[in-house]
Chains A and B, each alone.
Chain A
């Protein structure tokens, strides 16, 4: 990656903050938001997402001159699906309990818009290694947001982090945080905070 290093730094800054997939593009919250009521599950899902975006960007970038434009989307989907299968098999073998808890959601990484979006927007126009960096950066940019949501939801909803009780007995669990609406509210508040900051920094940006 040495030749691409100056660009790689920029790619990471973009993925993590300036062009963060969740805050700026509001993409791909589908599959992962559902598991954010437990921090540990979210962590595994995020690893899966970084794995998939990174490797599918890499392999699609390798294939980019061979993919005919008309069937581009379906080829992308199939490559992404293959990597998700690989990830699914890995966690089934290493973390069977979490794999069971995640259930269908691992498979849904395939339809996560970020993976496809990065393939379309970046991998098809750039070299393999920098594409992989872009995939990982966007995956990480997405992950930190989702992990923040999971942190708040598990802390307030169960009084614990990673299954270990951190708030004392006096704490009454907010059941709403474990249920679906909690995820919507926490993400909305997070988006509000970050976008409010961005707008104050940069006038005229949407």
Chain B
């Protein structure tokens, strides 16, 4: 996997291999929060930040602790601990340093530990055997792609609020249909780059 350039991994993570629209990761918070643009942007920012940093942290843990000690099968537990610890740390720092940032991001941080997209990005990086710069690019790009999707979705849902939707379809059903159409649109980017 060393031959793919860092830039193309970054772009692929945002557009063609969008972690939400092609891998369905992070759907739970996506469906729950995406009804308002402002909250979505906040959550998107928090996810991007946490995903970018934990991707790098977990890469270091994988290559300098788990592999030398032959503990790769413990991956899942170790990754989730790193993510949870990091999220907790960020929450405490933000609370002390910036009141306004805390009120914007703080409420979303606990949600992030169990956001599948964060763990998913880390696991994809491990399985695809990325190098450190590639891992950083994938983490940042993946987070950004997720943020892009949730903000776009929130915009659409605000417009949809007054639309008349068949009763059984309203709520989750129509959100999934919209997400599907968004995923279709994102397939249009796939001529650009392709990673797997």
Contact = CB atoms under 8 A, between A and B. Distances in A.
Contacts, number: 134
B25 A31 contact: yes
Interface stretch (A57-65, A127-135, A137-145, A185-193): A185-193
Contact of A77 (B73, B80, B179): B80
Contact of A192 (B23, B119, B168): B168
A181 B168 contact: no
B183 interface: yes
Contact of B171 (A104, A112, A206): A206
A191 B172 contact: yes
B114 interface: yes
Contacts of A89: 73
Q: Could you say which interface size class chain B belongs to? A: 35 or more
A31 B28 CA distance: 10
A13 to B, nearest CB: 21
B166 to A, nearest CB: 7
B177 A188 contact: yes
B176 A191 contact: yes
A33 B25 CA distance: 9
Interface in B150-178: 166-169, 171-174, 176-177
Given A31-B120, A77-B80, A111-B114, 6 more contacts: A33-B24, A73-B114, A84-B76, A180-B22, A196-B167, A206-B171
Interface of A: 26-31, 33-34, 73-74, 77-78, 81-82, 84-85, 88-89, 103-104, 107-108, 110-113, 116, 176, 179-185, 187-188, 191-199, 206
Interface of B: 21-28, 31, 73-77, 80-81, 84, 113-120, 123-124, 126-127, 166-169, 171-174, 176-177, 179-181, 183-184, 187
